[in-house]
Structure 1
Amino acid sequence: MIDIYSWATPNGHKVHIMMEECGYRLGKDWLAHPIDIGAGDQFTKEFLAISPNNKIPAMVDPNGPDGKPIALFESGAILLYLASKTGRFLPKTDRAKFEVLQWLMFQMGGVGPMLGQTHHFRIYAPEKVEYAINRYTNETRRLYGVMDRELSKKRFIAGKDYSIADIAIFPWTRSWKNQGITLEEFPNVLRWHEEIAERPAVKRGVEILTSLRKPLNDDKAKEILYGKTQYQKR
């Protein structure tokens, strides 16, 4: 039984979708353990032992590569691990594999951090900072433009086959309204997004833990996520 410690966020959804896409059955092959980041669950000693950066998701597989348990944090690393373990969603040839990996890195280094900042300054920041809102909204639009050009040439972001790069990027594009854009501005992204959203495993994955997540509208939760609690020495 693989244990996934997670929450219903884009980074959490990546791993939920991957588990479902790989054929693992929730409740039989794997468990989703909720880590309520608004309540501070990410700072417990038990979770920090798995995820020292106090971020979700994290994973414990009792049957690691050497037959021993392995714990991993960082969603990109978990996707790579599961792709290696199952032989799915990552090509075997070096050329095709690195074409996928560059787009996975694009998500980890660009889409996730930049769209995350866009969400923060447009929705959650206690004061509206026009410079920050414009900076990150414009960068979000630029990144969508990069994806739109690429997807004008191919069915999926890294080629003709669905891969961990698509799994990594898709959950972030679900919140396009919060990012100040419309998908109609990017017709190739829209076409790609709609196709992926219809995959049965994706539909299941994005619902995992979603019923537990509440709107982030209380000061205590915001302080835990963005205030001094986040920066305490542990």
Structure 2
Amino acid sequence: MPHGKQFTLYTNSLWINGWAVVFVLNRLGLSYDCHQIDKTTVNGPEYLKYNPNGRIPTLVDHKNNDFAIWESAAIVLYLVDRYDPNHQISVTNPDEKATMIQWLFFQAAGQGPYYGQAGHFLYYHSEKVPSAIERYQNETRRVLGVLESVLSKQEFLVGGKLTVADIIFVHCNIMLEPLLGAEFNFEKEFPATFAWHSKVTASDGVKEGLEERQKAWSA
């Protein structure tokens, strides 16, 4: 294998989407190099050969013939399918696996886009559009409400233990105050989800990834 580490993770430490992959790689003890992608290279031919969507993250597995996979949920599912033989953060029961995948889809199709649009209209759109801001802040709270409805009855989302279904929500939920304002009280409004989020962020692999993120964002 010509590479020093098993994986190359194409990401940008200042953008949030790659962190879910970092958390899972850390948790599974897998070695990786982070290759930083920016706005000038994300649509360049060298990157598009791995990811035709021109977004981050993308993971290249040098142990598997330089297999490249993109989309955070697909990447973490690939990692546990191939590199979590003891099911440390995955499940074996077919119904539970379907539920785990369901939550990965909900994060990718629900949490990620709604939180992302809330951030866009709050901070990056060329003009303030109050109705758009209100819509996506309301959708952000709705996603939290879905989580709360389940987590008020159980400790984790599937299998009675920490899995990638839980881990994949962290990188967006740490952005709640910027999205919902300083007056937002996560613990008060969504107590079960807050307790779950606190457990997941303190878990092995996630904790180290968040410390790495803090260093990157403080630099």
TM-score of the superposed pair, with normalisation by structure 1:
0.83
| The one of 176, 184, 192 aligned to 2:196 | 192
Give 4+ residue runs of structure 1 displaced > 3 Å after superposition.
207-215
Partner in structure 2 of residue 106 of structure 1: 106
* Structure 2 counterpart of 1:125, one-letter code: H
Would the aligned equivalents of 1:3 and 1:31 in 2 still touch at CA under 8 Å?
yes
Would the aligned equivalents of 1:11 and 1:56 in 2 still touch at CA under 8 Å?
yes
* Structure 1 counterpart of 2:178, one-letter code: N
Q: Equivalents in 2 of 1:117, 1:162: separation in Å? A: 28
Partner in structure 2 of residue 81 of structure 1: 78
Distance 1:211 1:126, change over 3 A: farther
Q: Equivalents in 1 of 2:146, 2:159: separation in Å? A: 15
The percent identity for this pair of structures is 34
Partner in structure 2 of residue 54 of structure 1: 54
* Structure 2 counterpart of 1:130, one-letter code: P
Distance 1:208 1:44, change over 3 A: farther
1:201 aligns with 2:198: no
Q: Which moved more, 1:170-179 or 1:158-167?
A: 158-167
* Structure 1 counterpart of 2:41, one-letter code: D
1:16 aligns with 2:18: no
Structure 2 residues not aligned, in runs of 5+: 1-5
Partner in structure 1 of residue 35 of structure 2: 33
Q: Equivalents in 1 of 2:20, 2:212: separation in Å? A: 11
Partner in structure 2 of residue 218 of structure 1: none
Partner in structure 1 of residue 140 of structure 2: 140
Structure 1 residues not aligned, in runs of 5+: 216-234
Would the aligned equivalents of 1:18 and 1:79 in 2 still touch at CA under 8 Å?
yes
* Structure 2 counterpart of 1:6, one-letter code: T
Would the aligned equivalents of 1:176 and 1:182 in 2 still touch at CA under 8 Å?
no
RMSD of equivalent CA atoms: 1.8
Q: Equivalents in 1 of 2:96, 2:120: separation in Å? A: 35
Would the aligned equivalents of 1:123 and 1:178 in 2 still touch at CA under 8 Å?
no
Partner in structure 2 of residue 165 of structure 1: 165
| The one of 176, 183, 186 aligned to 1:183 | 186
Partner in structure 2 of residue 127 of structure 1: 127
Deviations 1:67-117 (A, max 9, x none): x22011111111011001112322111011011111111101100011110
Deviations 1:145-202 (A, max 9, x none): 1101110111112241111111111111000102214312100111011111112311
* Structure 2 counterpart of 1:21, one-letter code: R
Distance 1:63 1:32, change over 3 A: same
Q: Equivalents in 2 of 1:209, 1:50: separation in Å? A: 24
Partner in structure 2 of residue 231 of structure 1: none
Would you say how many aligned residue pairs link Structure 1 and Structure 2?
206
Partner in structure 1 of residue 11 of structure 2: 6
Would the aligned equivalents of 1:10 and 1:172 in 2 still touch at CA under 8 Å?
yes
Q: Equivalents in 2 of 1:209, 1:7: separation in Å? A: 10
Q: Equivalents in 2 of 1:12, 1:81: separation in Å? A: 15
1:44 aligns with 2:20: no
